[in-house]
């Protein structure tokens, strides 16, 4: 087990190196100069050149990469060109915001989607099933920014139940924090519930067709026991894999929601950094996201045997 | 049952806390939206427009811009200029104290200046005072504790203008305690009406009232005049999304949006709880042409495009009627904006077609670059495309992100471009931003040697009438060459909640929290 984990982690290194290199090259290939953006349309060429030199942007790209890699290996991802902040602490601070919303939302989505999918599969082709499938399809078709804005207008503006902008960490005031993250969490929960319900339903239908389910029913077990004891654990395993992918995607990709709800998360940081051509922050964000993606999927794989004993971690 | 009542009580207390705390936190706090975080708190160094807006609430310069974009004294009681125009003597005010209680002295001016002119600090305006740009300061000395003398190599009509520029950090005077013991910038300890509060990066910047602020007599006048802080705290929440900002304002989570989108204006006008105020700024919007392009190097095609556009209609549509059309590179609020500048030729499709035919134009497509980052830039391009089509000119609009557009602008790598220039506060600077040698600076739009000489002359002479004559002459030459079509000076529309008293925008387009109060009970 330990050697498996170690092997997976070791394989992570070349992945991150490749991500780091590709990102490094790509962001520099995009037209647009951070020094020019900082100085604006009235800056003289000399001022732009001086600022480029200050950040080492006038050096050959491979020299820049070598410097960056050397520092990254020591845990130093550089400093933001825009405001001079150290990138790594900035990423960790912003990640906490994104992670809190994503974990809570995906947790709620699983709690709703798995039973809904199971019931839909159990009552396949009934009115109940059709309603759940239609609801799930509708939810996963709605763009998250649109749903977010609608919730913001209804619950923030019209009803005034929650504040429209702002953010407070849990450590500072749990009640305030809950109020601020309520709408983004609800938005994300609704969207992800759609995806996961479809997945859980499909898995459950597959399992319901298997012989051991028929055998269990033939033995005279109640439908409730058949569903909870035999169908749920086996149907949950493929859904679990999807949860891993969803988590990985969301942790780096909820920029739109973070923008709509004015949350200082990782996604918004990345988008702002791309617009500002803030190379160290863009590189740091994408590297960090890749790392999180790899780690989340490692944890998912390690937990898989808990839901499907046929799969061994070794 | 007992457990249930305990839980219910806890929930009730929690909810009461939730409802009560935002209200109490807002008491006497003016909240003004910023669309992006600031870059630093170091005046004129690592800055952008948002940074200038926030920092200039905390620090002040010897001189500052007045409402009419002239320059007036701020920390200086008076400024004496020698007859030869080379020696500027600044007499400091006696009543000014820094946020830490220390009195303002000539030594503080020297300390700040020394830091500005140290090339290691990358002060934005260093090239303007070291001989590369508008002036060369050869000596700065303290005559006594309250008098500082700046000596220039030769006279410059724009020396005070440079010192007062917001992007130069107003050449603000700050106390040496603004720096750490090893010389790094810490927090601004200035003389401004507000002092540094909390900066929660990516979320908000808080400024606190400077209770011992020594306000000048009289009314608020640009960045000078009476600047008394009336609210206990100013919060600048960072809200990138304009829809979210609008929702925040309408729900009472925000007090002022100082630059609302034109498309939102009709909606705000319907509301009684929001007050709109319009103010012309010094920003210039227009269409640029690459005069070295094989097609557009023919001035007849450029003139034809000017004649093909229904400029009043275009500006009306783009700005929702907020801005007036203007073909002058001198912004409408400028005191040099006169009759010559206000002249507006009529649309003439027949004349445009005639010019195009003379130039041998055969419907070759012209690619016009634009961005959606600033909706007006995109809208100008689309409307120009439609209007030019009536004269038989085919324009293809290509949309880029702002950083790429800026890159193409700087390289001169475009045929045509919809663009917006940030404020230039003197007509000489307005002409300077577009004129120059394209070989040396490809971003320059207008390459005309004779006009450059006139422009240089306008930077040296101080006589107002002579300068106006020069600008009128330049205007005529600019229109004849038509290297760009100026469409309008931007109008900034601010939206404030009804309880906000005395908020107004101004020509520089940045928010000002001094002199603003909140009416309680609203």
pLDDT in tens, chain A (314 residues): 778 778 878 888 888 889 889 988 888 888 888 888 777 777 777 778 888 888 888 888 889 899 888 998 888 998 898 888 899 999 999 998 998 999 999 999 999 999 999 889 888 889 999 999 999 999 989 988 889 989 988 998 888 898 888 888 888 888 888 899 999 999 999 999 998 999 889 888 888 888 888 888 888 778 788 888 778 877 777 788 888 878 877 876 688 888 888 888 998 899 889 888 899 999 999 988 888 888 888 888 887 777 766 666 55
pLDDT of residue A33: 84
Which chain A residues are Cβ-neighbours of B202 within 8 angstroms? 94, 264, 268-269
Nearest to A165 among B18, B244, B406 (CB): B244
- Between A38 and B32, residue with greater pLDDT: B32
Q: Which whole number is the average pLDDT over B109-118? A: 97
Across the interface, of A40, A44, A165, the residue whose CB is closest to B254 is A165
For B:113-132, CB contacts with A below 8 A are 119, 122, 124, 127, 132
Residue A252 has a pLDDT of: 64
Q: Is the pLDDT of residue B15 over 50?
A: no
Q: Cβ neighbours of residue A290 under 8 Å, at least 6 residues apart?
A: A15, A16, A19
Q: What is the pLDDT of residue B42?
A: 95
Contacts of B119 in chain A (CB under 8 A): 50
Cross-strand bridge partners of residue B149 = B89, B141
What whole-number distance in Å separates Cα of residue B192 and Cα of residue B29?
Answer: 18
d(CA B407, CA A52): 14
- pLDDT digits over A209-263, tens only? 888 888 888 887 787 888 887 788 777 777 888 888 788 778 766 888 888 888 8
User: Does the beta-carbon distance from B253 to A83 stay under 8 Å?
Assistant: no
Selected residues 159-178 of chain B with any CB under 8 Å from a CB in chain A: 167
ipTM: 0.76
Tell me how far apart the 2 most distant CA atoms of chain A are, in Å: 85
Cβ–Cβ gap B403/A275 under 8 Å: yes
Nearest CA in chain A to B442: A45
C-alpha to C-alpha distance for B289 and B298, rounded to whole angstroms: 11
What average pLDDT score do residues B127-139 get? 90
Interchain contact B399–A (C-beta under 8 A): no
Q: Which residue has the higher pLDDT, B10 or B66?
A: B66
Q: What is the pLDDT of residue B300?
A: 96
Considering only A28-37, B307-316, B326-335, B371-380, which range has the smallest mean pLDDT? A28-37
Rounded to 5°, the CA angle A250-A251-A253 comes to: 55
Per-residue pLDDT tens digits for B34-73? 988 898 999 998 888 899 999 999 999 999 999 888 899 9
Of B18, B237, B422, the CB nearest to A40: B422
Say yes or no: B11 contacts chain A, CB-CB below 8 A: no
- For B:337-376, CB contacts with A below 8 A are 373
Gap between the Cα atoms of B522 and B520, Å rounded: 6
| pLDDT at B485 exceeding the cut of 90 | yes
Of B68, B15, B94, the C-alpha closest to B332 is B68
Q: Name the residue facing A41 among B239, B247, B406 (closest C-beta).
A: B406
**Is B244's Cβ below 8 Å from some Cβ in A?**
yes
Distances from the Cα of B145 to the Cαs of B94, B105, B231, in angstroms? 10, 5, 33
Kindly tell me the sign of the dihedral angle through the C-alpha atoms of B45, B47, B49, B53.
Answer: negative
Measure the CA–CA gap between B176 and B138, rounded to whole angstroms: 23
Mean of the pLDDT values across residues B411-437? Answer: 92
**B306 phi and psi angles, rounded to 5 deg:** -60, -45
In this model, does residue B362 exceed pLDDT 70?
Answer: yes
CB pairs under 8 A between A and B: 132
Residue B23 reports pLDDT greater than 60: no
Q: B150, B90 in Cβ contact below 8 A?
A: yes
Hey, how many other C-beta atoms are within 10 angstroms of the C-beta on B84?
Answer: 9
Residue of B26, B267, B403 to mutate when probing chain A, most A C-beta within 10 A = B403
């Amino acid at each position: 087990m330990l050697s498996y984990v170690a092997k997976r982690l070791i394989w992570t290194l070349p992945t991150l190196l490749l991500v780091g290199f590709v990102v490094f090259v790509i962001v520099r290939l995009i037209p647009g100069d951070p020094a020019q953006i900082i100085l604006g349309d009235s800056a003289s060429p000399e001022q732009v050149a001086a600022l480029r030199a200050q950040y080492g942007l006038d050096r050959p790209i491979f020299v820049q990469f070598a410097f960056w890699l050397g520092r990254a290996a020591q845990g130093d991802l550089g400093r933001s060109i825009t405001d001079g902040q150290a990138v790594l602490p900035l990423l960790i601070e912003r990640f906490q915001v994104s992670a809190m919303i994503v974990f809570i939302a995906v947790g709620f989505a699983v709690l709703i989607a798995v039973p809904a999918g199971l019931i839909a599969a159990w009552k396949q082709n009934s009115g109940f099933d059709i309603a759940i499938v239609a609801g799930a399809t509708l939810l996963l078709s709605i763009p998250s920014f649109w749903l977010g804005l609608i919730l913001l207008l209804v619950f923030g503006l019209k009803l005034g139940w929650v504040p429209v902008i702002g953010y407070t960490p849990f450590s500072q005031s749990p009640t305030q924090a809950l109020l601020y993250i309520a709408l983004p969490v609800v938005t994300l929960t609704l969207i992800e519930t759609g995806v996961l319900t479809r997945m859980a339903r499909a898995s459950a239908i597959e399992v319901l067709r298997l012989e051991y389910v028929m055998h269990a029913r033939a033995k005279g077990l109640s439908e409730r026991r058949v569903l909870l004891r035999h169908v749920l654990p086996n149907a949950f395993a493929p859904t679990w894999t999807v949860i891993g992918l969803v988590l990985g995607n969301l942790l780096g990709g909820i920029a739109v929601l973070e923008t709509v709800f004015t949350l200082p998360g990782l996604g918004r940081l990345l988008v702002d950094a791309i617009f500002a051509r803030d190379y160290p922050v863009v590189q740091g964000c994408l590297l960090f996201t890749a790392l999180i993606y790899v780690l989340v999927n490692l944890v998912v794989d390690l937990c898989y045997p808990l839901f499907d004993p046929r799969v061994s971690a070794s | 049952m007992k457990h249930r009542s305990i839980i219910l009580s806890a929930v009730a207390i929690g909810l009461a806390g939730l409802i009560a705390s935002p209200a109490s936190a807002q008491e006497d706090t003016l909240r003004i939206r910023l669309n992006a975080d600031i870059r630093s708190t170091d005046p004129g160094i690592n800055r952008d427009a948002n940074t200038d807006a926030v920092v200039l609430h905390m620090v002040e310069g010897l001189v500052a811009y007045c409402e009419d974009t002239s320059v007036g004294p701020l920390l200086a009681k008076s400024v004496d200029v020698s007859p030869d125009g080379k020696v500027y003597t600044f007499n400091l005010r006696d009543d000014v104290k820094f946020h830490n209680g220390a009195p303002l002295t000539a030594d503080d001016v020297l300390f700040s200046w020394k830091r500005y002119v140290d090339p290691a600090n990358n002060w934005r305006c260093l090239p303007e005072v070291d001989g590369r740009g508008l002036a060369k300061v050869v000596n700065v000395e303290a005559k006594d504790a309250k008098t500082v003398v700046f000596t220039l190599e030769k006279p410059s009509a724009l020396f005070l203008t440079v010192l007062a520029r917001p992007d130069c950090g107003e050449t603000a005077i700050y106390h040496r305690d603004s720096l750490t013991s090893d010389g790094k910038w810490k927090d601004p300890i200035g003389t401004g009406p507000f002092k540094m509060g909390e900066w929660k990066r990516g979320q908000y910047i808080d400024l606190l009232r400077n209770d011992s602020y020594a306000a000048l007599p009289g009314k608020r006048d640009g960045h000078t005049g009476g600047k008394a802080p009336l609210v206990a705290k100013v919060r600048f929440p960072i809200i990138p999304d304009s829809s979210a900002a609008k929702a925040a304002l309408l729900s009472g989570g925000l007090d002022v949006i100082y630059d609302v989108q034109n498309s939102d204006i009709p909606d705000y006008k319907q509301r009684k709880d929001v007050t709109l105020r319009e103010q012309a700024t010094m920003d210039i919007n227009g269409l640029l042409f690459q005069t070295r392009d094989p097609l557009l190097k023919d001035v007849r095609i450029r003139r034809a495009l000017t004649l093909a556009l229904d400029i009043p209609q275009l500006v009306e549509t783009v700005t929702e009627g907020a801005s007036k059309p203007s073909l002058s590179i001198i912004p409408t609020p400028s005191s040099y904006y006169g009759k010559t500048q206000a002249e507006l030729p009529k649309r003439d499709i027949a004349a445009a077609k005639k010019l195009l035919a003379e130039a041998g134009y055969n419907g070759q497509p012209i690619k016009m670059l634009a961005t959606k980052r600033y909706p007006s830039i995109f809208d100008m391009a689309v409307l120009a495309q439609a209007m030019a089509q009536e004269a038989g000119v085919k324009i293809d609009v290509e949309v880029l992100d702002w950083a790429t557009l800026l890159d193409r602008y700087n390289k001169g790598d475009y045929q045509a471009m919809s663009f917006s220039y940030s404020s230039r506060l003197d007509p000489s600077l307005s002409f300077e931003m577009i004129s120059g040698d394209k070989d040396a600076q490809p971003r320059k739009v207008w390459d005309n040697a004779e006009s450059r000489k006139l422009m240089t002359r306008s930077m040296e002479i101080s006589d107002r009438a002579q300068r106006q004559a020069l600008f009128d002459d330049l205007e005529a030459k600019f229109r004849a060459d038509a290297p760009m079509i100026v469409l309008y000076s931007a109008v900034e529309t601010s939206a404030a909640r009804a309880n906000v008293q005395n908020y107004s925008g101004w020509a520089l387009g940045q928010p000002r929290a001094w002199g603003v109060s909140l009416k309680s009970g609203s």
